[in-house]
Amino acid sequence: MSAGPPPLRVGVVSIVVVSMFVSLFARLYFLQVLDDKTLEDVRGAALFDTIATEGTRGRILDRNGRVLVDNRESISVTIDRNVFNALDDQEEVVTRLASTLTEQGFPTKEADIRARLADPQFNPFKPAPIVDDVTVAVEAYLLERHFDFPSVNVVRNRVRTYPYGNLAAHVLGYTGAISAAELDARPKDRSLDPKPYEPGDQIGKSGVEKVFESDLRATPGVRVIEVDATNIEVDTRSEVRPVSGYDLQLTIDVDLQATVERELQAALLAARQQPKRNPADPDYRAPAGAVVVLDTMTSEVLAMASFPTYDPGDFIGGISSSRFAELTDAAAFNPLFNRATQAIYSPGSTFKTFTAVAALRSGLVSPGETVTDLGVWNLANCTEGCSFQNAGRTAFGTVDMRRSMVVSSDVYYYRIGEKFWVEQGTYGRTTIQNVARDFGLGSLTGVQLPDEAAGIISDPAFKAQRHIDNPTAFPFGEWLTGDNVNLAIGQGDIAVTPLQLANAYAAFANGGTLQAPSIARALLDHDDGAVVTSFAPRVTRQVALDPATRSVIAEGLAGVVNSNEGTAAGAFSGFDHPGFTVAGKTGTAEVPPRADSALFASFAPVAAPRYVVVAVLEEAGFASGTAAPLVRRIYDRIVEPVPAQPVSSSIQRTPAVTASTLPLLPAAVAPTIPPAPRTGGRRTTRARPTWR
Amino acid sequence: MALTRRSRDAVYSLRRDLAGPALHLDWSIVALSVLLVAIGIATIFSTTKGSGPTPDTSYVTRQVVALLLGLGLMIGLAILDYRRLREFVPLLYGGSLLLLVAVLVVGSELRGAQAWFAVGPFTLQPSEPSKFAFIVTLAAYLSIHRDDLTLRRLAIVLTVAGLPMGLILLQPDLGTMLVFAVITFTMLAVAGLPLRYLGGLVVAAAIGTSIVLGSGLLAEYQRDRLLVFIDTSADMSLDQSYNVEQSQTAISLGGVTGWGWGNGPQTQDGMVPEQETDFIFTAVGEELGFVGAATLLALFLALCLRITRAAQLARDDFGTLLCSGVLAMFAFQIFENVGMTMRIMPVTGIPLPFVSYGGSSLLTTLASVGVVLSVHMHRFR
């Protein structure tokens, strides 16, 4: 190129330049004219999107069709944490959102927003709810100023609403966003799941919401949409509409349920105000209790209350971790815990009904056989701890089967317990236990509620095995006479749920038909209310109960309430409903070091029993002054019902009456497990943790 | 229309001095430059406005600021007699070397290269102005030794070129280094380096490249980019081939007429990384189609031909060499940049002159145009 002046060489360069441009033009022409592509070529299937649409969850109704759980639309302000974490001006967004919400009438602190963002309760891949149930005005305000609030969104959800507030909370249960574990438990192949879940979908977490989840849940719809290049929906290709879930009709009666809950709270308050008989006695803290009302013929649950309770409305839109911790705090007596089915209690003297059945059925005693009750029973051939007393060492004199019930003579049953063990060659070693198990005590009732407790009915094999398994905590494995004596009065290693006790009394009352208690009556079509499935009574077994035996014991139980010397006579004084005679048994179970549990198990009317009412009050003292009056007031309302009042606004929540809204209580005594004492003298029940 | 006395005097005075620079301004270069920058700003807006109702104008604002500064620089350099540029050679060359060293020490790292100074809201990329400084320096040296380039002088030239190239490779910025190489080669050719030396340079470059590729001197991504170009199925290069794949796809989607400004699906969804800077041609191709993209290329070609003409008409070798250097810089950057988006060239980080977002590039481009205008204007006096 040395030839020629520079301008000529520049000409050569320009030829190179032109040829470079020619190649660019050629390539451009090829790409855009000869080989041009459509968006379908490039994006293909990405142009279609499949969206699951959630349908309406079934409602929950009472036995008369009144709505206990309904659905409504809720507007929530959310923050998408993935977007938020990428923001440079996180502080400003939080500050602006807090002040805006506060100005708009939803007082919100910056710390509240931060707490919600940090709350592990919420699925990290889903927007975290910041404030629920805002007004349409707030929604419009935030959406208009979308660009001032990056990562903030406003969403409308269908949420549960509770027309009767926290009524029957433990039965109903609560719903929440499906957890990762729950999602994993679904079929891996979503097409095999009749009602597949998306992350964030609502699922029943407890109560009938959990047990009947598959019926209540709507079948999700599927919408296939076509989106344009900017991911905006342009057309619906196909749509399968969601199908609403079934309505669930419960066996609960709203009026009775409201009465039972109100009276349970009142009884606990009253129990706390009792004077102590002896200053050294433990406090009557009366922190918790449960009541079950059953239909004796069908074992349908007409009412079931547990205290302390909670508000399922707290779970709408996701509950904060701190609130959840309060609801599961043992020191607050675990408000989420359904004591009617999940707590186990020593039945105390309410168990004598079954000891009596065992004694009469086996022929150990005859109804008219009398015992002279001097207030103390001494075991024969006994060297150590051989003396058992009546409560307060009261001497009842001549006592037969009927009177033993009326006055609650422990001595009468101590004798039965001893005789059974001494004469085991004739009657077998576990006659009392066999009867208790016949009546369903110590085993799951089969009610359609989650996480039911089984309870314990101890016997020689159980005691021996427990000693082998854990010799430190249980140094004695041998079943002694004293064990049998304690068992006869419902003390010792025996613990049942209030529902088990009620169901056993129902079987006794109806002549021996043990059924699984039901909480659900029917599934109804959401749109026309037609019955889809009805739940018939489920007979578990026919218990051998001679009518003569039954009537002797029933007379005794009727005397408890109606005879002048009956332990519940005072509680039922003035109870005057012709044709509606109540029979029942008080029970005062020792739970040292705490105050006694008070129990009352009953049925009515005696002539043709229809109702069973069982009440258990923890740390409440003598049953005759606490549990019996409670049950009496419930019968008053069974005879003369008082209608329950719905809460005025469905959004307005009634504050849940929990332990914290009643007078303050000392912190719970940690349940201590002392080594079982060598059985002998009046044995005390091992303190049993009734909640965990 | 009657002329006022004053305007008549002005016309007369212009006529009187037929060699005056003002008479010989190449308006077509000015018009082409402004048109190209306008297309650039419109495309930058389309690629950076975002999808919300309130568009993001921060990119466009910064680019307009750079444009105003650049136009001032262009006018100043056009008015300044280019021959006086020789006086600034030590300052330009020394200054640019200093900045290139400084950026390695105190610069900020962005997109994997330590090539930027952060100055408030603006960033300065010293490798851009150093290209301009290098062209002036090389033109000044070669114009003295035209047609008398001995091996020793060639060695001097290669040293002068090698210093900034080495510093830029350290950033590492392979693309800009290649621009330097092409400028050097072209200017040597125009200055009359014997053909055998030119051939020797090509052979040396080829050997050097293969040695560098084989050694660990290149960053992984640079090696990947080159290998992607050679073998599109190369495994380790998913990230790199993704970029080219997406950009070629977007251009194909454009078809003959395009989707319309602001409507390109790939562009608006941000499918092509760096679409406001190095891959801006993709957005033009998709949104304006063959009609628009070919028009853009035609404008570039016209500008290159006008610069060629300025080089040929220059009154001295210094002018010719200055214009040749600018021509080489523009032509190579256009070919490499547009070529890589259409997969006929390997991917390197080179901006498209006039069009890509970036103040340093725009200022350098307009300054270079200013020098070309000066060469053209001052060809008679």
**Minimum distance, in Å, between the CA of residue A9 and any CA atom of chain B:** 5
Predicted confidence pLDDT, tens digits, chain B (381 residues): 444 555 555 555 555 566 777 788 899 999 999 999 999 999 999 998 877 778 888 899 999 999 999 999 999 999 999 999 999 999 999 999 999 999 988 887 776 677 788 877 678 899 999 999 999 999 999 999 887 888 999 999 999 999 999 999 888 888 899 999 999 999 999 998 988 999 999 999 888 877 777 766 666 666 666 665 554 444 434 455 677 888 888 899 898 999 889 888 888 877 788 888 889 999 999 999 999 999 999 999 999 999 999 999 999 999 999 999 999 999 999 999 999 999 888 888 899 999 999 999 999 999 999 999 999 999 887
Is pLDDT above 50 for A368? Answer: yes
| Residues A510 and A604 sit within 8 Å (Cβ to Cβ) | no
**Minimum distance, in Å, between the CA of residue A167 and any CA atom of chain B:** 47
Sign, CA dihedral A537-A540-A542-A543, equals: negative
Q: Could you say which of B186, B297, B327 has the minimum Cβ distance to residue A21?
A: B297
Is pLDDT above 50 for A194? Answer: yes
Q: What is the pLDDT of residue B216?
A: 63
Question: What ipTM was assigned to the predicted interfaces of this complex?
Answer: 0.91
Instruction: Identify whether A651 is part of a domain.
Output: yes
Domain shared by A145 and A291, yes or no:
no
Range B300-317 burial, b when 16+ CB lie within 10 A, else e: bbbbbbbbbbbbbbbebb
Q: What is the pLDDT of residue A233?
A: 64
Q: Using pLDDT thresholds of 50, 70 and 90, give the confidence band for residue A44.
A: low
Q: Return the amino acid letter for B60.
A: V
Judged on CB neighbours under 10 Å (0-12, 13-18, 19+), B31 is middle
Domain shared by A145 and A258, yes or no:
no
Chain A residue with CA closest to B313: the answer is: A7
Instruction: Identify whether A494 is part of a domain.
Output: yes
Instruction: Identify whether A689 is part of a domain.
Output: no
CA neighbor of A257 nearest in space, from A212, A198, A304: A304
**Minimum distance, in Å, between the CA of residue B16 and any CA atom of chain A:** 30
Q: Which of A355-359, A368-372, A379-383, A549-553 has the lowest mean pLDDT?
A: A379-383
Q: What is the pLDDT of residue B173?
A: 84
Is pLDDT above 60 for A397? Answer: yes
Contacts of A31 in chain B (CB under 8 A): 248, 251-252, 285, 342
Q: What is the pLDDT of residue A351?
A: 97
Is pLDDT above 50 for A623? Answer: yes
Domain shared by A258 and A397, yes or no:
yes
Q: How many CA atoms lie within 13 A of A438 on its CB side?
A: 21
CA neighbor of A583 nearest in space, from A509, A525, A500: A509
As for how many domains chain A has, the answer is 2
Instruction: Identify whether A420 is part of a domain.
Output: yes
Given A132, A150, A168, which residue is the final one in a domain? A150
Q: Which domain holds residue A287?
A: 254-661
Instruction: Identify whether A473 is part of a domain.
Output: yes
State which H helix or E strand residue B174 sits in: helix B174-190
Chain A residue with CA closest to B345: the answer is: A24
Q: What is the pLDDT of residue A687?
A: 35
Contacts of A36 in chain B (CB under 8 A): 252-256
Domain shared by A144 and A263, yes or no:
no
Chain A residue with CA closest to B194: the answer is: A2
pLDDT tens string A560-582 = 999 999 999 999 999 989 889 99
Domain shared by A132 and A275, yes or no:
no
Chain A residue with CA closest to B329: the answer is: A17
Contact check, Cβ <8 Å, B342/A27: yes
Contacts of A35 in chain B (CB under 8 A): 252
pLDDT tens string A653-671 = 444 444 444 433 433 333 3
Distance, in Å, from the CA atom of A641 to the CA atom of A559, rounded to the nearest integer, reads: 26
Contact check, Cβ <8 Å, B190/A2: no
Q: Using pLDDT thresholds of 50, 70 and 90, give the confidence band for residue A648.
A: low
Q: Using pLDDT thresholds of 50, 70 and 90, give the confidence band for residue A198.
A: confident
Chain A residue with CA closest to B268: the answer is: A230
Instruction: Identify whether A506 is part of a domain.
Output: yes
Domain shared by A328 and A445, yes or no:
yes
Contacts of A27 in chain B (CB under 8 A): 339, 342, 344
pLDDT tens string A110-152 = 888 888 888 776 666 667 888 888 888 888 888 888 888 888 8
DSSP A205: -
Q: What is the pLDDT of residue A228?
A: 59
Higher-confidence position of A635 and A39:
A635
Instruction: Identify whether A453 is part of a domain.
Output: yes
Describe the crossing of helices B151-170 and B174-190 by its angle, rounded to 10 degrees: 160
**Minimum distance, in Å, between the CA of residue B101 and any CA atom of chain A:** 32
Distance, in Å, from the CA atom of A98 to the CA atom of B118, rounded to the nearest integer, reads: 35
Q: What is the pLDDT of residue A690?
A: 36
3-state DSSP helix/strand/coil % of chain B, to nearest 5: 70, 5, 25
Higher-confidence position of A56 and A685:
A56
Q: What is the pLDDT of residue A230?
A: 54
Q: Using pLDDT thresholds of 50, 70 and 90, give the confidence band for residue A684.
A: very low
Q: Return the amino acid letter for B20.
A: G
Distance, in Å, from the CA atom of B65 to the CA atom of B86, rounded to the nearest integer, reads: 29
DSSP A179: P
Instruction: Identify whether A202 is part of a domain.
Output: no
Q: What is the pLDDT of residue A85?
A: 82
**Minimum distance, in Å, between the CA of residue A109 and any CA atom of chain B:** 29
The pLDDT of A379-403, averaged and rounded, is 87
The pLDDT of A497-511, averaged and rounded, is 97
Q: Which of B335, B345, B379 to mutate to test the interface with A (most CBs of A within 10 A)?
A: B335
User: Residue A422's domain is classified under what CATH number?
Assistant: 3.40.710.10
Domain shared by A379 and A491, yes or no:
yes
Distance, in Å, from the CA atom of A384 to the CA atom of A377, rounded to the nearest integer, reads: 14
